[in-house]
Amino acid sequence: MGVDPEAEAAEFTEAFRAVGLDAEVKKAPVPPEMVGELVGPIMDGKFPPGTGVTRSQRENCPSAWCGTVSIPVHFKGKVVFGIGRPAAPGERYATSALISPPPDGGPIDGYKARGRSVAEVRADMERLGLKITYVVMWVSADGSGEGYHVDDAYIKDDWTVETARKTASDAVWVYIEAGPGVPLNSLPRAAPLEGPDWWKH
């Protein structure tokens, strides 16, 4: 992908269609540090048996994104690639992003959530005017884990935060380690959240 990936969108789309893929390139809302980067692909269809998508990214890229995305040529569904554009204030990001120093600075510049208590991170996020959604994780000894969204009423102040991810300019997901003695999947699940739908428009 070149320095101006949006200018290459039509050529990118036609290259996939030339090999029989129904592919489209759309603008995807992202945080400032991800503008111009590749998002997706989003796949709507069935893969031939034993196949799937592979994606590799090259480091030290001189342009917006360098790498390879491989899709089976016999895939019979819709493929949507996103190219990051600046999200509007409060608009849901196409993909969440770690809270880290954005290139132009900002109110959460350099914030480190890992290892802090829920109470401390909550106070920091609320002071910044950010809406919080909690994800409770159960982590095994080998480092693998699983989790889901939980309403804040079930979250304890002394539990430990694993990470925080931006989902919009005014919203974050805070990932928490389940407290000691909390059985796997024992907390009530929050109502399902709608996923980003930029690729449908």
What digits encode the pLDDT tens for the residues 67-79?
A: 777 777 667 778 8
pLDDT score for 24: 82
Given a cut of 60, whether residue 147 has pLDDT beyond it is: yes
Q: What share of the chain is helix, strand, coil (3-state, %, to 5)?
A: 15, 35, 50
What value does the mean pLDDT take over residues 139-150?
Answer: 84
Q: Are 168 and 91 in contact (CB under 8 A)?
A: yes
What digits encode the pLDDT tens for the residues 16-26?
A: 777 777 788 88
pLDDT score for 58: 73
Given a cut of 90, whether residue 153 has pLDDT beyond it is: yes
Q: Which ranges constitute the DSSP H helices of the chain?
A: 9-17, 118-127
Cα 36 to Cα 3: distance, rounded to the nearest angstrom: 8
Query: Position of tokens 């503008």?
Result: 35
Cα 99 to Cα 152: distance, rounded to the nearest angstrom: 20
Q: Are 96 and 30 in contact (CB under 8 A)?
A: no
What value does the mean pLDDT take over residues 39-49?
Answer: 76
